[in-house]
């Protein structure tokens, strides 16, 4: 099975970077921590960074009830997750690029009303960026659940873009005495910083100490 490319998700430029298989799409979505959601309010587009989670073929986002410029049900959106894997240093300035993997999901936000799905999505939103955490943190109260809107976007109109491998230079530039290659980049955790009000007898969980992407 692959996601069917549409006119809106087909790459005309550099089509060799396009991927439509769920394995690639899911792996990028699951590795990312935040997404950027594009939406339109009064004709103006916005790109909003926010958390997300995937369960099966649905993406979940927090709605924001208090914000004028927040996400609402029934909005046309583009959810983009980008993993910056490196800097591509070619011999010519023109062929410099980024090593990256990205996913674009086009769709319309749906309010999640089913209590079981909403509960699972809220757990997934925490587990997505910190696996293991939801077993420790105090679960949402009825009041907190009521104050939180969860939105779903189905994974239907989806594409991934993947750039890997060496720089691409023009053939006549390969003889230039210019270093070329990839500088890999990755998100690395630092030393965890305990809350200044933390009870010092509470141990740091292993999922914090051993977090990685």
Question: How large is the C-alpha radius of gyration of the chain?
Answer: 20
Q: List the one residue from 18, 120, 124, 182 that touches a second copy (CB under 8 A).
A: 182
Please tell me whether residue 4 binds a second copy under the rule CB under 8 A: no
Please tell me whether residue 200 binds a second copy under the rule CB under 8 A: no
Q: How far is the CB of 164 from a second copy (least distance, A)?
A: 11
Please tell me whether residue 16 binds a second copy under the rule CB under 8 A: no
User: What residues between 35 and 94 interact with a second copy by CB under 8 A?
Assistant: 36-40, 43-49, 51, 64, 66-70, 76-80, 82, 84, 86-87, 89-94
Whether the CB-CB separation of 46 and 60 falls below 8 Å is answered with no
Please tell me whether residue 12 binds a second copy under the rule CB under 8 A: yes
DSSP classification of residue 144:
H
- Residues near 114 by beta carbon (within 8 Å), at least 6 away in sequence: none
Stretch that binds a second copy, among 17-25, 31-39, 52-60, 110-118 (CB under 8 A): 31-39
Q: List the one residue from 61, 100, 150, 155 that touches a second copy (CB under 8 A).
A: 100
Whether the CB-CB separation of 211 and 128 falls below 8 Å is answered with no
Q: 90-107 burial string, b = 16+ CB within 10 Å, else e? A: bbeeeeebebbbbbbbbb
User: What residues between 144 and 173 interact with a second copy by CB under 8 A?
Assistant: 144, 148, 166-167, 173
Q: How far is the CB of 97 from a second copy (least distance, A)?
A: 8
How many CB atoms lie under 10 A from the CB of residue 178? 12
Q: List the one residue from 23, 96, 111, 164 that touches a second copy (CB under 8 A).
A: 96
CA–CA distance from 65 to each of 69, 73, 121, 126 (Å)? 10, 10, 17, 19
Helix (H, G, I), strand (E, B) or coil at 177: coil
Q: How far is the CB of 75 from a second copy (least distance, A)?
A: 9
Please tell me whether residue 132 binds a second copy under the rule CB under 8 A: no
Q: Give the span between the Cα atoms of 152 and 196, in whole angstroms.
A: 36
Please tell me whether residue 120 binds a second copy under the rule CB under 8 A: no
């Amino acid at each position: 099975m692959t996601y069917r490319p549409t006119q809106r998700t087909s790459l005309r430029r550099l089509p060799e970077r396009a991927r439509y298989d769920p394995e690639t799409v899911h792996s990028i979505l699951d590795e990312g921590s935040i997404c950027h959601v594009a939406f339109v309010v009064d004709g103006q587009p916005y790109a909003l960074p926010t958390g997300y989670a995937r369960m099966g073929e649905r993406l979940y986002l927090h709605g924001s009830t208090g914000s004028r410029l927040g996400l609402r049900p029934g909005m046309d959106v583009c959810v983009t997750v980008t993993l910056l894997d490196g800097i591509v240093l070619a011999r010519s300035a023109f062929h410099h690029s980024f090593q990256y993997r990205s996913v674009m999901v086009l769709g319309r936000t749906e309010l999640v009303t089913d209590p079981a799905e909403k509960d699972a999505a809220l757990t997934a939103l925490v587990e997505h960026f910190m696996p293991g955490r939801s077993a420790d943190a105090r679960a949402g109260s009825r009041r907190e659940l009521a104050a939180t809107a969860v939105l779903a976007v189905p994974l239907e109109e989806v594409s991934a873009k993947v750039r890997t491998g060496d720089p691409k230079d023009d053939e006549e530039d390969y003889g230039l005495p210019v270093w070329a290659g990839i500088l890999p980049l990755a998100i690395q955790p630092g030393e965890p910083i305990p809350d200044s009000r933390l009870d010092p007898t509470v141990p740091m969980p292993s999922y914090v100490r051993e977090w990685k992407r």
